[in-house]
């Protein structure tokens, strides 16, 4: 048996769902004995059979991936409830097992999977999908790529219509619900490493569910970003969101302004609004330093 064959069989066995009692299945999905399957590529030792040795990896895989999803999606867990969340995660992992060396990618397909399996998130499907998008955005913002930050020394070109590049980790999203406030409240009720009694824990859980039940539609525009390795949510006005989105799509400054402010005649007011935006966003480090390859850089005249 080649190394590739051993790895393939091992992976297929490890990702097989556990029994209700969290033990390894006695048979594969096509009816083969797991004792016989394990013996094909794992040797027993003086304490454990081939089956028992394989079972250790099978159980640890599932304990680890389920714990990872619970850690990454506490908001979704609060929306659908802990029991349904666990069943949802198991069903998701059966169809979308781990395919990456890093656990941060484990939930990358969860939103699209839920869109194909809405029965898991009814009757709060819209709220649940918003929450999943926000929690994935947190992950992307936390460890997404970053480029050198735009600085005042970069204001040296005379391009009349510059382009601005946004940091890769910056996430721009529209939501149907105010899930930013909801997620902050949920995490506040679940402090990491807190040692609380079961009674207090139940009070926190009930408070979360009441908070979720009270959620009403309130469209928001949100930027998810990081500062000093901490992730933050920043609500944006619809015009600011549209402006940043246009810049991210590669639109020049003049085109982005026209798209967002086509109905605005007061140039003085427009100048003040855009100036405030750029001052704030620059302090947060949202703009990348211009590269030599990008000839459309930043002009002092256009930013002021």
What does each C-alpha distance from 203 to 83, 183, 206 come to in angstroms?
17, 17, 5
pLDDT digits (tens, 9 = 90+) for 4-37: 999 999 999 999 999 999 999 999 989 999 999 9
Tokens linked to 233: 């949510």
Closest Cα to residue 218, out of 175, 252, 259? 175
Q: What is the pLDDT of residue 155?
A: 62
Q: What is the pLDDT of residue 303?
A: 39
Q: What is the pLDDT of residue 157?
A: 54
Segments of the chain with pLDDT less than 70? 152-159, 190-213, 263-267, 292-304
Closest Cα to residue 127, out of 88, 78, 84, 93? 78
Q: What is the pLDDT of residue 304?
A: 34
Residue that the structure tokens 């060396």 belong to: 101
Residue that the structure tokens 């091992």 belong to: 10
């Amino acid at each position: 048996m080649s190394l590739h064959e051993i790895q393939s069989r091992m992976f297929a066995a490890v990702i097989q769902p556990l029994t209700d009692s969290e033990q390894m299945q006695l048979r594969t999905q096509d009816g083969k004995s797991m004792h016989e399957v394990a013996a094909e590529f794992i040797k027993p030792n003086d304490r454990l059979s081939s089956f028992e040795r394989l079972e250790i990896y099978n159980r640890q895989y599932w304990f680890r991936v389920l714990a990872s999803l619970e850690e990454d999606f506490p908001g979704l867990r609060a929306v659908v409830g802990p029991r349904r969340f666990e069943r949802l995660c198991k069903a998701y992992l059966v169809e979308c097992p781990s395919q990456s060396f890093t656990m941060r990618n484990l939930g990358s397909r969860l939103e699209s999977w839920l869109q194909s399996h809405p029965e898991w998130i009814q009757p709060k499907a819209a709220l649940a999908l918003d929450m999943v998008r926000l929690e994935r955005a947190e992950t992307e913002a936390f460890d997404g790529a970053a480029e050198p930050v735009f600085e005042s020394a970069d204001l040296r070109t005379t391009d009349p219509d510059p382009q601005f590049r946004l940091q890769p980790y910056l996430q721009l999203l529209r939501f149907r619900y105010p899930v930013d406030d909801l997620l902050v409240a949920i995490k506040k009720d679940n402090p990491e490493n807190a040692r609380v009694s079961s009674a207090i824990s139940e009070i926190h859980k009930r408070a979360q569910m009441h908070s979720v039940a009270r959620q009403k539609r309130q469209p928001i525009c949100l930027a998810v970003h990081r500062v000093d390795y901490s992730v933050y949510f920043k609500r944006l006005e619809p015009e600011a969101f549209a402006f940043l989105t246009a810049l991210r799509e590669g639109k020049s400054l003049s085109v982005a302004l026209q798209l967002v402010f086509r109905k605005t005649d007061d140039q003085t007011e427009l100048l003040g609004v855009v100036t405030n935006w750029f001052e704030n966003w620059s302090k947060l480090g949202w703009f990348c330093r211009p590269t030599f390859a990008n000839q459309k850089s930043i002009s002092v005249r256009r930013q002021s």
